[in-house]
Chain A
Amino acid sequence: MTEVIQYLLSGIAMGSIYSLVALGFCIMWATSETVNFAQGDSVMIGAILGVTFCGDMGWPIWLGLSVIIIVCSLFGIGLERVAIRPFRGISDIGWMLSTIAIGIIVRNIAMVTFGRYDRPFPTVLVKQPIYIGGAGVYPQEILIPIIALGLMVGIEMFYNKTKFGSAMRAVAYNRDAAGLMGINVNLMISFSYALATSMAGIAGFIVAPVILASAYMGLLIGLKGFAVAIIGGITSPRGTILAGFIYGVLEKFIAGYFSTAAREITAFFLVILILLVSPRGIFAGKTRGA
């Protein structure tokens, strides 16, 4: 029983990370119908900047997090300008490979500057585990889903309550019509990229204390986030968030009872299976907008 609670809690924590990353995929897809294969590297940027600023240099959390959000937003905007806009609607393989290329560049710059080894991010929230029903979890692991859910609610409100959010929904609904209504479509796409990458950056910042930070950490998180977005239904943000939590919990259980490689085997086998049964994802088409 202790194990079950343990896996469940850590699974929810990791699942929130996948949900945040995957939600980023939904946001980018909604406005531009493109996918950023460097999304995982935004998680990495958040994590290693967190370790560097708040760990090594002892900055306060608020300052570190603000800088991370700014850096990741700029990264998103720059990436969209360089790797997406020239290829959007012209060549799928173009933006797939250009974002992959950006990922390779960023990852290796990080490796050169940050070092090639995994590094911990020792905060007060991972010093002492707390015990819930006999299962030891770090307070950070409890905090992660809370922050993630807070962010998701914030985004939902932004989409539904603000004029800018409405404009983004309009672009998601019909790019051409939104353009004719005087909405600056390119600006909205740029902004959606900034939003998605900064969310991933925050995810990296909050998850770094629990898992180690490294230059290559983003690759698998990004691919898993993409898998979650696809099986959740990339047009369905709520479905995607749910799929993220389920994915996180499921993989903790498999890793706990079997092994890490078994975790990936099962997960990716399920991805193929789900797409076989439901080619547009499980929840696609049921909800629209964020």
Chain B
Amino acid sequence: MLSDKKPCTPFLYAVIIGLIFVYPFIVKDRFYFWESMLICITGIVAVGLNLLTGYAGLISLGHAGLYAIGAYTGALIGIKLGLNFFPSLLISVLFSAGIGALLAYPTVRVSGVYFAMVTIAFGLLVENILIEWHSLTKGPVGIDGIPPVKIGGFKFTEQYYFYLIAMSFFASIILVKNLIHSKYGRSLKAVGMSQIGAETSGINALSIRSLAFILSAALTGLAGHYFAYLNLYLSPEIFQFDTSILFLVIIIFGGLGTTFGPIIGTIILVVLPEILQKFSDYRLIVYGGLLLVLLFFMPRGVIGSLNQLLKGLRPKPSNDEVGISVAAGGIKLREGLLDRGRLMNGDGNLVEIKNLTKQFGGLIAVNDISITIRPNTIHALIGPNGAGKTTLMNVISGIYKPTKGEIYFREGKIDDLSQSMIAKKGIGRTFQTTHLFGEMSVCENVMAAFYPHIQYGLTQSFFQMSSMRKQEREIEEQAMELLDFVGYKGKSEELAKNLPFGHQRLVEIARALALNPYLLLMDEPAAGLTVREIQELDNLINNIRNFGLTIFLIEHHVKLVMGISDEVTVLDYGRKICEGDPDSVRRDPVVIKAYLGGTVK
């Protein structure tokens, strides 16, 4: 149950629901019962925040603001409009999600401290609006007179309110867990680990982060609403900066990015203040000290550390002796894998780069370059260091926007598209230093890039519907097939960061191929590989080409380049100095001069 991988069976769900049912009969003490409800409510916030901070890696220091919005909206609608608990609940959630969407717009574009700043500002903004807007919120005095929870004529006693809250907490855990085990969760984690890797896998980082932010806001708003009807009194003091910190501490304590971390964290941190009461004036000093100790000795939190411990007990998979071996041809892949290149019709050019210039301040990295890439060829881009090769490749894949000039891909203009759009159009990319998702397994890395091709939506993910599970299984099989195709023979469940360098490169190639691309851009694929590995790479590139794909690669390894390329373009100081088949390029005096110096005769 501690591991995220094992599926929770319906039996386990039934047990938990049963426990929730009997809980009010076991815990009779009113104070503890009330605390239990507070734990469930705070737990819902923690689940939402964990989605954002734990999985997407965005650290929010302003969730108290969203919590306040849910609480005040719910309470005020109940008091001023006399609306019933459930309709107002819907409004609270939608309103919080809406605010989340508005806030997502400025925040998801930034990360790290900038994201933290926007969220701090948001939290303080809400707090001060609550203080200032007397006519609505009664300012610092706070509001009471929140009506009791009713549905029709049925009045919710504490017992039934507990059922509602506990079931919501349970449901939020399951739904978020399900979401994490879908293409959305995979993309969310991917974006958090390497934005550039995610974008080149066809994942739009902004929209996936916005999704996380909005869902997180909705859950926090829901919790706020429940809190209003539990506490029956609200004041701005409850929703200060410290509360936002508390939420963060909870998910850290439980374990960032774990399914069950928020439960443990919430229980400990809601109960802790009661224990610390006996330190009276010193309680916050002790609290701060505990936080420091935790961060220092248990940065993965309770659940994270337990998972680590369990992992340590299992035998460690070893990839050391596993080599790379690429089949020598005659490979068949299932439908949907690497078939777009072959199915392509027409005999036009695949890529046309027209008078492309890329300037960084005073430096012209790429200067008025035009290149045509013909379909189903291997086209190499060579040149001395600093010639502008990688810059050119970055412009093609959308990482940079060109200063001047145009790029056409399959007759469509692509130079103004985003990275993920370009990837979706069918341009895969690998990097000189790999941009894999380090904390994800090898298989997941490849599966992540199927994102643009996956049909199922949010609802199917939330409920892990059978159609969704079927697609996931297919994608997993396809990912394994691609890994086999590129010659990766290691363990597919190993974390990408633990792989030796050559294997990382193969996995990145497999990931790029998962897009089912027409064109594969490779930036120095042979760099850092052993002689034997380069031989395998040579085979692999040929195999890829045999599937109808076109390959555009930057490479320094002359033997490899001259052996496999149909066309070679040479750059020097940002300009194209030569182009042609390998033999003519090799003999070209301008090229010899660029590489070896000396004068041209």
Contact = CB atoms under 8 A, between A and B. Distances in A.
Partners in one complex: yes
Contacts, number: 117
Which one of A105, A219, A272, A273 has the greatest number of beta carbons of chain B within 10 Å? Answer: A272
A101 interface: yes
A57 interface: no
B128 A279 contact: no
A268 B128 contact: yes
A128 interface: no
Interface stretch (A5-13, A92-100, A158-166): A92-100
B284 A104 contact: yes
Given A92-B59, A104-B291, A223 B281 contact: no
Interface string B107-124: 001101110111011101
Contacts of A83: 292
Nearest to A93: B59
Contact of B117 (A219, A226, A261): A226
Contacts of B112: 92
Given A108-B282, A112-B282, A230-B114, A261 B291 contact: no
A275 B117 contact: yes
Contacts of B478: none
Interface string B265-305: 00000000000000001101101110110011001000000
B76 interface: no
B248 A230 contact: no
B288 to A, nearest CB: 4
B105 interface: yes
A279 B120 contact: no
A265 B59 contact: no
Interface string B89-131: 0000000000000010110011011101110111011001101
Contacts of A269: 121, 125
A46 to B, nearest CB: 20
A276 B105 contact: yes
Given A93-B59, A261-B131, A279 B281 contact: no
A261 B132 contact: yes
A173 B203 CA distance: 32
Interface in A89-117: 91-94, 96-98, 100-105, 107-109, 111-112
Nearest to A226: B117
Contacts of A279: 106, 109-110, 114
Interface string A50-87: 00000000000000000000000000000000110011
Interface residues of B, number: 41
A228 to B, nearest CB: 10
Interface in A189-223: 219, 223
A287 interface: no
Contacts of B344: none
Contacts of A259: 132
B286 to A, nearest CB: 9
Interface in B55-108: 59, 61, 103, 105-106
A82 B105 contact: no
State the main secondary structure of chain A at its contact with B.
helix
A93 B256 contact: yes
Contacts of A264: 124-125, 128
Contacts of A111: 281
Given A230-B117, A271-B117, A275-B106, A101 B288 contact: yes
B295 A102 contact: no
28 contacts: A83-B292, A97-B245, A97-B248, A97-B252, A98-B296, A100-B291, A101-B288, A102-B292, A104-B284, A104-B291, A105-B284, A105-B288, A105-B292, A108-B285, A111-B281, A223-B124, A226-B117, A227-B120, A227-B121, A261-B128, A261-B132, A264-B128, A269-B125, A271-B118, A272-B106, A275-B106, A275-B118, A280-B114
Interface of A: 35, 82-83, 86-87, 91-94, 96-98, 100-105, 107-109, 111-112, 219, 223, 226-227, 230, 234, 259, 261-262, 264-265, 268-269, 271-273, 275-276, 279-280
Query: Which A-B residue pairs are the 6 nearest by beta carbons?
Result: A104-B288, A261-B132, A276-B106, A105-B288, A101-B291, A268-B121
Interface of B: 53, 59, 61, 103, 105-106, 109-110, 112-114, 116-118, 120-122, 124-125, 128-129, 131-132, 241, 245, 248-249, 252, 256, 281-282, 284-285, 287-289, 291-292, 295-296, 299
